[in-house]
Amino acid sequence: MTKTTFDLVVVGGGPGGYVAAIRAAQLGMSVALVERAELGGICLNWGCIPTKALLHSATVLRACREAAHYGVTGAGEARPDLAAMVARSRKVAGRLGQGVAHLMKKNGVTVFAASAKLAGAGRLALDDGNTLSAKHIILATGARARELPALPLGERIWAYRQALVPAEIPKSLLVVGAGAIGAEFASFYRAVGAEVTLIDMTAEILPQEDAEISALARKAFEKQGIRVLTQCAVTSSSLTAAGVKVALDQQGKRSELDVERVIVAAGIVGNVENLGLEQSRVKVEKTHIVTDGLCRTGEPGVYAIGDVAGAPWLAHKASHEAVLCVEAIAGKPAHPIDPLRIPACTYSYPQVASIGMSEARAREHAAKNGGDIRVGKFTFAGNGKAIAMGEDQGLVKTVFDAKSGELLGAHIIHPEASELITGYGVAAALEATEEDLMHTVFAHPTLSETLHESVLSAFGRALHA
């Protein structure tokens, strides 16, 4: 007979949900996980992981094309094998999905392949006929791509799922939305040969990033041949014999663009439907569940984590929330998450990574508090390892409180930015000051030396600038 009473039931098996289940099991709770689709959620199956697999294929392709520059000859003309790239991407996602299933079994988590909705205090009704009971219920149902009325999804107008498994490389492509997802798809499709146009309604691409970094990213994209249009919106679209005709409005200037395919990457909405929230005290605002610092909703015993609980919409934020939520449930010390200590990464070419405040936000914050900031910058053109790698374009930028030396923000644009940002993440978590960072010894030759130099630069002490 299937067990139906647990200490904790988690709804959703993404990077928030499955981590919550594992941590709860480690703490001795009886745990069930309800997942209607694939274990690992969108991130593992249709987001973070398969996109990075495709982007790594693009990196290898780029390296092959530039091999002669590094003294490597005889490789011939490198060409993309799209089917093989997609197959590898799906294999990577499948392997990790199996890994999550193994972790559930290893930790004694009971998995239900079903959908669930709240059915009264401490109860969940599953669409497979089971009713589960638990003192604690965590909602980790994630989010989905926002759809645009002017761009109805179909065979030629794609969301991320279709963009991850193309049958062929489109000759021309419009990417709508220049946030992280749009920038990554623009980079991949340009690398494999598509003529790419990237548009956004805001004044700059990657609008959540520091303005200087965004401007450098735009310049790098345009150098690769990506056409970038900002303050631009789609007003309508229609299918043609060859693809899609899209009507654009760029600050009142109207134009039309004919492309073979369109990718819509215009944000996400939380998966709050069909969860039975209407009959509970759970509050929803702008498609996201409202929670406090310990992930509690307005309904006793019901919690929400990850994308469904709001920004920042990042897998590592979901996993961190999972642990703090479960530990709070178990009565262990738990601290609310600080959004300013969560790194954000865009895996385009070049990559962009950041943590904390942009320069503009830091200046505004300092002005309100009667203070000032110090800004340091160091380009990779002054770094020996970057020059040796042939990747000497990029910038590290750091922002400090002028009086206390607190690290307020850090921003990196470089092909290895996502790996480098963790150094500043550790520093922020440990509340390191500029003195701590300046006295840290960085190995030579490494790219991480740029982190040190940027800190030194903020205080007029850069050695290689």
What is the token pair recorded at 396? Answer: 């590290």
Could you tell me which residues are annotated as the binding site for NAD(+)?
A: 177-184, 267
Angstrom distances, CA of residue 427 to CA of 13, 110, 318, 336, 437? 31, 38, 21, 18, 8
Distance CA 179, CA 188 (A): 14
Collapsed DSSP state (helix, strand, coil) of residue 215: helix
Helix, strand, coil percentages, rounded to 5, for the chain: 35, 25, 40
Q: Which residues are annotated binding-site positions for FAD?
A: 52, 307
Residues placed in the known binding site: 52, 177-184, 267, 307
Pick from 311, 303, 251: which is nearest to 282 by CA?
Answer: 303
Distance CA 415, CA 100 (A): 29
Task: Report the alpha-carbon distance of residue 187 to residue 181 in Å, rounded.
Answer: 10
- If you ran DSSP here, which 8-state letter would residue 441 be given? P
Which residues partner with 173 through β-bridges?
A: 196, 261
> Which positions are catalytic?
444
Q: What are the residues whose beta carbons fall under 8 Å from the beta carbon of 84, sequence distance 6 or more? A: none
Strands 351-356 and 407-414, sheet pairing: antiparallel
Distance between CA atoms of 147 and 174, rounded to whole angstroms?
Answer: 15
> What distance, in Å, lies between the first and last C-alpha atoms of the chain?
70
Residue 49 CA to residue 41 CA, distance in Å, equals: 11
